Amino acid sequence: MLFQVEMIVNIPLDLDKAEADRLKAAEKARFQELQRSGVWRHIWRVVGQYANLSIFDVENNAALHDILMSLPLYPFMDIKVVALCRHPSSAHEDDR
């Protein structure tokens, strides 16, 4: 199943810088692991925000929920999820 996920990150300004840097590095490592596995298919920055718009390809809603909760920055995220399906007028035969 494909999902569009918007993540807005709100790290508290008073969070220790070393801890914030550690979390950001862990987040990047987790993202790259999920991207290599094909689960996190696409990611785009949202201009002017500490946010991204991503496409996930997972088995079901529960799998997406578990993945999002596993992200190191999850406690500091506002997340919006939209389930996607193929449009019948698409010129492509796949979900690229």
User: What is this structure's pTM?
Assistant: 0.89
Q: What pLDDT is recorded for position 91?
A: 83
Domain 2-84 of CATH type 3.30.70.1060 = yes
pLDDT digits (tens, 9 = 90+) for 2-48: 999 999 999 999 999 999 999 999 999 999 999 999 999 999 999 99
Cα torsion for 58, 26, 44, 83, to the nearest 10°? 30
Per-residue tokens: 48: 């002017």
Pairing of strands 51-57, 2-9: antiparallel
**φ and ψ at 8, to 5 degrees?**
-110, 125
- d(CA 43, CA 57) in angstroms, rounded, equals 12
